[in-house]
Each structure stands twice: as C-alpha cells, then as structure tokens.
Amino acid sequence: MKILLIADQECPALWDHYRPEHVAGIDLIISCGDLKREYLEFLVTMTGKPLLYVPGNHDERYADDPPGGCENIDGNVFTFRGLRIGGLGGCLEYSSGEYQYTEREMVRRVHKFRRVVKKAGGLDIFVSHASLTGYGDAEDRAHRGFDCFQTVLDTFHPQYMCHGHVHQTYGWNIPRMVEYEGIPIINAFERYVLEIPEGQVT
C-alpha cells in the first residue's frame, strides 16, 4: 500500500504542475496539517482517493469551512483496508488560535483519544501536526512537540507516526524520519510517500 503524506507546504508537482503519473499507485492521502483547503479538495478530486487530515495551527478556517470530500480524523480513528488511522491535530500553545493547546489540554485530548482507539481495537498509524517532544521537533516553543504523545505510542504501539509543523526548510539537519522505540516517526513536510509492505496490512 502506498500512502501520500503531505503537510505545511503545497507541493507544486501536486498542484500547479499536477499530472496523474505524479500520484501513480497512491492508495490514500494523509494531511498532517497547515495546508490550504483548496489544495486538499483539489487532490481528493483529481486523484479520486480518500484523504484524511488533522488540522494544523494555521488551519483556523477549517472550523467553519472544512475541506470538502475529506475526512477529519482529529480525535477519531478511520479504518482503511484494515489500517486503523487516528490523529490529534494542533500544536503547543505559543500565541492564540483554534488549534493551539497547552500540554495539559493535550493530555486531556489524549485521554479521550485513547478511549476512541480502544473502541476501534487499536491504532496502526498515528497522525498529528506537532511531533513527540524530542523526536523531530524543534527547540523553540512554537515548534516543540507534546510529551503526552508518548502515552499514545507506549499504549498502542502503532506501526508509524507521521506529523508536520517542522518545515525541512528551517534547517539543513532536520530529519525526515526518526524512531521512538522502533516506531518510525515521519516528518510529512510537503510530501512523502509511505510504502507499507503487504504483510503489515491486516
């Protein structure tokens, strides 16, 4: 299975210079936030593939005008071909905004999310906008991750975690992928194709 991960910056090859061959073989699209509503709607329309998303800290307009034809998985779990995909959007509070949370507020969100995941029978892919603290985040408050995401990973042991928020253009040494206890944590900045071996899909 091929999953197109996107976040933070619209990819010209997928929008301005879109061609069907640019998404050949893609089965599912997951947005990790901070992308224009029009971009998500364009992709879901042109590809005909399901698109799941969590909101980023700059996606305030999603609250009143969500991307049409796309599935919001913020606080929810969506099952696609046996893969249980759930997410938590937003980032650590650094100013004010619809999708900014203190660590304590995100702890409460994680607590509710755990109940949803248990009801779904588990979690295969954890989608977020911010990352786990110390794993692909940055040192400034605006781009730090959440400590409480460790609870999600330790409890459910998903196959993958994917996030946005930390643009790879911020520095030469920003990793595309790190690992936490054997779980790959992928920075979905702009675009990344995640290929899941057949044996990992139930």
pLDDT one-digit tens code per residue, 27-43: 999 999 999 999 999 99
Instruction: Report which residue type is found at 127.
Output: V
Please state, for a pLDDT cut of 90, what percent of the chain lies above it: 86
How much is the pTM? Answer: 0.95
- Confidence (pLDDT) at 90: 97
Per-residue pLDDT at 200 exceeds 80: no
Tell me the per-residue pLDDT of 104-162, one tens digit each, with 9 for 90 and over: 999 999 999 999 999 999 999 999 999 999 999 888 888 999 999 999 999 999 999 99
- Report the pLDDT averaged over residues 60-85: 96
Residues facing residue 177 across a β-bridge: 186
Buried b (16+ CB within 10 A) or exposed e, 122-136: ebbbbbbbbbbbebb
Asked if pLDDT for residue 89 goes beyond 80, the answer is: yes
Please compute the mean of the pLDDT values over residues 2-31 and round it to a whole number. 96
Write down the pLDDT at residue 202.
56
**Domain 2-200: which topology?**
Purple Acid Phosphatase; chain A, domain 2 (3.60.21)
Domain definitions of the chain by residue range: 2-200
Asked whether 87 and 73 are in contact (CB, 8 A), the reply is yes
Q: Please determine, for residue 45, whether its predicted confidence score (pLDDT) is greater than 70.
A: yes
Distance CA 186, CA 164 (A): 8
| SS3 at position 149 | helix
What pLDDT is stored for residue 44 in this prediction?
A: 97
